[in-house]
Amino acid sequence: MEINDLKKEFLSLYGGEEKHIKVYFAPGRVNLIGEHVDYNGGYVFPCALSFGTYILARKNNENVVRFATGNFEDKARIPLTDLSRRLEGNRWINYPLGVINQFAKNGYPLGFGIDIFVYGNVPNGAGLSSSASIEVATATMLNDIMGVGVDMIELVKWSQKAENEFVGVNCGIMDQFASGMGRKDHAIFLNCDTLDYELVPVRLKGVKLVIANTNKRRGLADSKYNERRAECEKAVAFISRKKKIKVLGDLSVEEFESLKDAISEENVLKRARHVVTEIKRTLDAVTALKAGNIERFGQLMNASHDSLRDDYEVTGVELDTLVEEARKIKGTLGSRMTGAGFGGCTVSLVKEDFLEEFKKKVGENYHKKTGLKADFYVAEIGDGARRIE
């Protein structure tokens, strides 16, 4: 949808004049490598995408916040006095409400009414972070419309807390960080423990980033995400009997190998092995990309998926099928699941000359094996959250 179309929808809902409408955008993200390590103090390597969440906003004189979206029928009209209450059920409005709540907790309660219209073109539930996108877009909007001047990294932290504390999903900070801090044609090499980061140019000459959506819906809150996180914490407790660590990211692969006997539960051992080796793969992948070695980067993507399948056990038939079919295409350099898993998307590096073959054959074979239709997106790496108009 074009911005002018979104403004027309806004005016059809709320009336008034177009000149007072402000427009904001925050992108979705795809993680190139470094999966399920962000909450373990590890390194991740996401990039912002060119699609995401648009928020149109305008002050009103009614001491209420009105929420509407172009994606669902769900609307709400909430008095300023009730903004701290979570709505019952899994409603999208809880994401922006959570961010409003964080502003209030940090000394910036909303003192006036706002009419809000949200439109997202991130495939919902696909694992490309539609939730972080709406949170960071809301934070960017509030920061501007309230004139409070909070820096983006702080807005990113508040957005994560909104999801943790208000929505009730125990996510790490990677998604919000990528949405807020992304830059066009760069990926973010991020230490999730310290928030130290480096913007690394992504030069994919003759190669495209292809995102394939399994179209198997999975809600992050309903997945085994929280269970995996608990298993990682258990691994830290086991290891700490021999060597005190705060997070699995404190360990090198060599240290893990020397200490792994402390972990007496097989599943917990496998989860820890994935985390420690995935952090090493991420470091190696960044080195490869800086050296222009895309083939090596692709190999590490493959190894990442295999570890997520075998040790972390978060893939499933649909993701595994997409990856297996992708790797059969001669022009595929690497393919892996991205996001939380249990459905959602894969990300693949595909030579441009093989793009059409990739979409056709992978799509056909995936449908034959799963009965589902995959959607394919040739992704562009875009900028982070900002005001557009």
Q: Give the catalytic positions in this structure.
A: 175
How many whole angstroms separate alpha carbon 203 and alpha carbon 282?
17
Alpha carbon distances (Å) from 253 to 171, 200, 249, 303? 25, 24, 10, 15
Q: Is 343 left (phi over 0), alpha (psi -120 to 50) or beta?
A: left
Tokens 């999801």 belong to: 163
Helix (H, G, I), strand (E, B) or coil at 385: coil
CA-wise closest residue to 279 among 300, 258, 262: 300
Q: Which amino acid is at 276?
A: V
How many whole angstroms separate alpha carbon 189 and alpha carbon 76?
38
Q: Would you list the DSSP string of 238-296?
A: HHTTTS--SSGGG--HHHHHHHGGG---HHHHHHHHHHHHHHHHHHHHHHHHHTT-HHH
CB of 304 closer than 8 Å to CB of 279: no
CB atoms within 10 A of CB 61: 7
Q: Which amino acid is at 30?
A: V
CA dihedral sign of residues 156, 162, 165, 170: negative
Report, in this order, helix, strand and coil percent for the chain, each rounded to 5: 45, 20, 35
How many whole angstroms separate alpha carbon 178 and alpha carbon 385?
9
CA-wise closest residue to 67 among 90, 222, 58: 58
Token pair for residue 64?
């209420």
Token pair for residue 75?
């609307």
How many whole angstroms separate alpha carbon 178 and alpha carbon 196?
13
